[in-house]
């Protein structure tokens, strides 16, 4: 069975909205260029190399699909060749190579995908999707790159949940200019 990994850039106050600054959010752009952070770029590449597939919501998929196919380099090569699954009821024919649309109930579709694959399935961006996956206990691990900035507004990583979601810190390190890279496993059955 595959392991579902949520990988997010997040501010100190939990905002994940518009880290690159091109979505029109007034406080966007708080990450800067990933390539400018050598440690962060290495984490992104290693994560992509270790993934069996990417899982995305439609908006995150369309954002990435508009940027990565024209890029080159090790990360671009891996992202462009990696199998990508997009949960959507409106996307018909995905243009980015190796992309498959999963329609219908998100929980059922992801449960089946986890049973079909054996490696890591990485979810990036897609905050609405990740909240659904977390609520239904489909997330196995969170990898958070916490940037030393408080934004004060914006869409947050976590929303309301029906119950507590205990987690265990399994790794922590500092990247570059004070970016905390934290890895949590979800604790089952507590």
Is 44 in contact with 34 (CB distance < 8 Å)?
yes
Give me 6's structure tokens: 């949520």
Closest listed residue to residue 2, CA positions, set 124, 86, 119, 84 = 119
Helix (H, G, I), strand (E, B) or coil at 135: helix
Is 123 in contact with 4 (CB distance < 8 Å)?
yes
Is 8 in contact with 16 (CB distance < 8 Å)?
yes
Helix (H, G, I), strand (E, B) or coil at 115: helix
How much is the mean pLDDT over the chain?
Answer: 92
Is 84 in contact with 102 (CB distance < 8 Å)?
no
**Domain ranges in the chain?**
3-25+32-176
pLDDT score recorded for residue 33: 63
pTM to 2 decimal places: 0.92
Phi and psi angles of residue 117, each rounded to the nearest 5 degrees, phi first: -95, 165
pLDDT score recorded for residue 31: 85
pLDDT score recorded for residue 176: 84
pLDDT in tens, the chain (190 residues): 999 999 999 999 999 988 888 888 889 888 876 657 788 889 999 999 999 999 999 999 998 999 899 999 999 999 999 999 999 989 888 989 999 999 889 999 999 999 999 999 999 988 889 999 999 999 999 999 999 999 999 999 988 888 999 999 999 999 988 999 999 999 987 6
Give dist(CA 132, CA 63) in Å, integer.
20
3-25+32-176: which CATH topology?
Dihydrofolate Reductase, subunit A (3.40.430)
12-40 pLDDT, tens digit each: 999 998 888 888 888 988 887 665 778 88
Alpha helices in the chain (DSSP H): 38-50, 58-65, 74-81, 106-116, 127-135
């Amino acid at each position: 069975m595959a392991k579902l990994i949520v990988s997010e850039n997040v501010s100190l106050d939990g905002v994940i909205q518009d880290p690159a600054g091109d979505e029109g959010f007034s406080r966007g752009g708080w990450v800067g260029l990933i390539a400018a952070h050598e440690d962060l770029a290495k984490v992104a590449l290693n994560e992509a190399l270790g993934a069996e597939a990417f899982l995305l919501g439609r908006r995150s998929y369309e954002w990435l699909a508009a940027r990565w196919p024209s890029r080159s380099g090790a990360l671009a090569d891996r992202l462009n060749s990696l199998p990508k699954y997009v949960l959507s009821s409106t996307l018909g024919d995905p243009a980015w190579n190796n992309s498959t649309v999963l329609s219908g109930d998100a929980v059922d579709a992801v449960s089946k995908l986890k049973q079909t694959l054996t490696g890591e399935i990485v979810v990036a961006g897609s905050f609405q999707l990740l909240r659904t996956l977390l609520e239904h206990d489909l997330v196995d691990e969170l990898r958070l790159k916490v940037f030393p900035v408080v934004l004060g507004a914006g869409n947050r990583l976590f929303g309301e949940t029906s119950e507590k979601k205990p987690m265990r810190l399994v790794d922590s390190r500092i990247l570059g200019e004070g970016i905390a890279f934290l890895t949590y496993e979800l604790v089952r059955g507590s």
